[in-house]
Amino acid sequence: MDKKLKIIIGILITLILCSPIFYNFIKDRKKDEQYSYVITNDSLNFKQEYEQLNSDTDKYLNVEIPSYVPIEYVDYDKIFEILDNGTGIIYFGFPECPWCRNLTPVLASSAIDYGIDTIYYFNKHEDRNSLSLNKKGKIVTDKKGTKEYNKLIDLLKEVLPVYRGLNDDSIKRLYFPTVLFVKEGKVLGLEQTLSTYAERIDGDPLIPMSKAEKDELSNIFKNYYKQIKPKKN
């Protein structure tokens, strides 16, 4: 048999034998490229922030965060810009927060699954004020909030919950975690409680969420995603 013909036949046989591999590669590639996720410094930092506490199992719940979660770290200026007339999803959280550690993986996976491009992440919880009641029932300031934090509270006072334990419904507080959904400057809503989960675990956030609870929370997020970024038919 001619040497050239042998080479051609060998190539054809190889292609036929490998065709399922090529098919699956192309299929998976198309599936992955449905959304254009990119691993950024912010996404890697976010993953490291949360996962580096996994070793302390007595204090923190174990979490796994994808490297390509669409996270962007922002400051007050960006948040004020969005609240003025912008559109976006803002996540107020921090890695040491036990409730955040339950919510964060669900937020990340739901955003990736839906195709959200960016979640704006803000973790300056230390900027908040700290208030309490003295023995006479009077509200005292144990720690002042920063100027920027107070401005944020004023902008969100219509949607934020009451500062618990002060017996004054006019005083609002930004609790962590909070996920804020904004479209063209209008707050569509916020999610800060883990409803079914919180009731079940009786105040112990080190207990992992069940699949049903994760699905419930994921569906809440996706309902907001649809309002911010409707999928094309």
Give me the average pLDDT of each 10-residue run along the chain (233 residues).
55 49 36 62 97 94 94 98 97 95 95 96 96 95 97 96 95 95 96 77 85 93 95 68
CATH number of the structural domain spanning residue 187 = 3.40.30.10
Q: Do the domain assignments include residue 8?
A: no
Amino acid identity of 114?
Answer: Y
| Per-residue pLDDT, 7 | 52
Count of CA atoms in the C-beta half-sphere (13 A) of 198: 10
Q: Do the domain assignments include residue 13?
A: no
pTM, to two decimals? 0.82
Dig out the tokens for 30 from the structure. Answer: 């198309």
Q: Do the domain assignments include residue 15?
A: no
Q: Do the domain assignments include residue 18?
A: no
Q: Do the domain assignments include residue 27?
A: no
| Per-residue pLDDT, 24 | 37
DSSP string, the chain: --HHHHHHHHHHHHHHHHHHHHHHHHHHHHHHTTS-----HHHHHHHHHHHTTTT-TTTS------TT--EEE--HHHHHHHHHH--EEEEE--TT-HHHHHHHHHHHHHHHHHT---EEEE--GGGS-EEEE-TTS-EEEEEPPPHHHHHHHHHHTTTSPB-TTSS-TT-B---SSEEEEEETTEEEEEE---HHHHHHHTT-TTSPPPHHHHHHHHHHHHHHHHHHSPPP-
Q: Do the domain assignments include residue 31?
A: no
| Per-residue pLDDT, 107 | 97
| Per-residue pLDDT, 160 | 95
| Per-residue pLDDT, 22 | 38
Q: Do the domain assignments include residue 12?
A: no
Q: Do the domain assignments include residue 98?
A: yes
Total number of domains constituting the chain: 1
| Per-residue pLDDT, 198 | 76
Q: What is the residue range of 120's domain?
A: 36-228
| Per-residue pLDDT, 201 | 81
Dig out the tokens for 40 from the structure. Answer: 């950024």
